Amino acid sequence: MKTTYVTGVDIGGSHITAGLVNIATRSMVSDSLVRNPVNPHAGPDEIITAWGHTIRQAAFSLGATTYQVGIAMPGPFDYPNGVSLIKGFNKYESLYGLNVKALLAQFLGIQAADIKLKNDAAAFLQGEVFGGAARGYAKAAGITLGTGLGSARSMNGDTEEGALNILPLHEGIAEDYISIRWFMKRYHELTGQYANGVKALAEKAGQEEQAAQVFREFSANLALVLQHFMAEEQPDIVVVGGGIANAFDLFYPELKRLLAATMGDTVIKQSLLGEPAAMIGAASFFGETATIISSL
């Protein structure tokens, strides 16, 4: 049989996930998913090899005869030219100034034009616009809540990254108050104890007042940032993703209450696609140039 597949890739701080995206059905091929750890402090050869092996494993999982690769990549990065600008973030420092697109193309034995690199937050929102919670909305915005704060905007399918993370907030910037590290820091300030991640805090929130307080304060911080974001972008929908979004039911009711007077007709929804959103989005950037390939 023949159909259109693109290999979608999501590169994180210490791992890579790849899988085939069926462009026609706008979904992941679940049996093709591959996830491997990556040493972010390794040299460029080791990093490119780790990424390349994972991409190749996913790309050939259905016996494809050729393939294109869409990669969701954290910044800073020169995405059109494929050059890494990551420096001072304690990850992938050895790639600084290198043409990652060219190195990966050489490793994979494909043309550089068959690789597209996109900001991870933009890829996430593009995935939700292409086949998730924002499908059918002309103007969408997205935020990813995790180790950092990512943002993106999309108008009629044209998606680009935002800079919400550096918005001034309280005594710093938005990312200082809307991230996993803020959850851990604030809980320690209130209790003197260390929590093992946001999921652990979410499990405590129903029984422990300090954990519940952390989520209320998080909602207040997020409301301040979203008020600015929605006023600036005026989206029809805001899609919330990232690891912290798994606790959506804990912070959304308070967030909705705080935004009630200002959100107008904008709707706020949790990511429908979850972790695959960025991979689906990165793959979908090929659009009509995606190649019909043979599969077993």
Residue pLDDT, tens place only, 190-212:
999 999 999 999 999 999 999 99
Residue 89's pLDDT is: 83
Question: Are 211 and 119 members of one domain?
Answer: no
Residue 296's pLDDT is: 40
Question: Are 87 and 180 members of one domain?
Answer: no
Within a domain: 286: yes
Within a domain: 130: no
Question: Are 108 and 161 members of one domain?
Answer: no
Within a domain: 72: yes
Task: Please determine, for residue 38, whether its predicted confidence score (pLDDT) is greater than 80.
Answer: yes
- CB contact at 8 A, 50 and 40: no
Report strand pairing: 15-22 vs 267-270: unpaired
Residues in the chain: 296
Q: Cis bond leading into 76, ω under 30°? A: yes
Average pLDDT across the chain, whole number: 92
Question: Are 107 and 190 members of one domain?
Answer: no
Task: Please determine, for residue 293, whether its predicted confidence score (pLDDT) is greater than 60.
Answer: no
Instruction: Give residue-wise pLDDT tens across range 261-290.
Output: 888 899 999 999 999 999 999 999 987 666
Question: Are 203 and 244 members of one domain?
Answer: yes
Within a domain: 71: yes
For residue 145, give the nearest of 168, 169, 164 by alpha carbon.
164
Instruction: Give residue-wise pLDDT tens across range 46-93.
Output: 999 999 999 999 998 877 666 899 999 988 999 999 999 999 888 999
Question: Are 256 and 283 members of one domain?
Answer: no
Question: Are 290 and 244 members of one domain?
Answer: no
177: CATH:
3.30.420.40
Structural domain range at position 265: 136-271
Question: Are 64 and 189 members of one domain?
Answer: no
**pTM for this one?**
0.91
Task: Please determine, for residue 221, whether its predicted confidence score (pLDDT) is greater than 60.
Answer: yes
Task: Quote the tokens at residue 152.
Answer: 């993106």
Question: Are 140 and 88 members of one domain?
Answer: no
Handedness of CA 15, 241, 123, 78 (dihedral sign): negative
Question: Are 181 and 118 members of one domain?
Answer: no
Number of domains into which the chain is organized: 2
Within a domain: 128: no
Question: Are 186 and 260 members of one domain?
Answer: yes
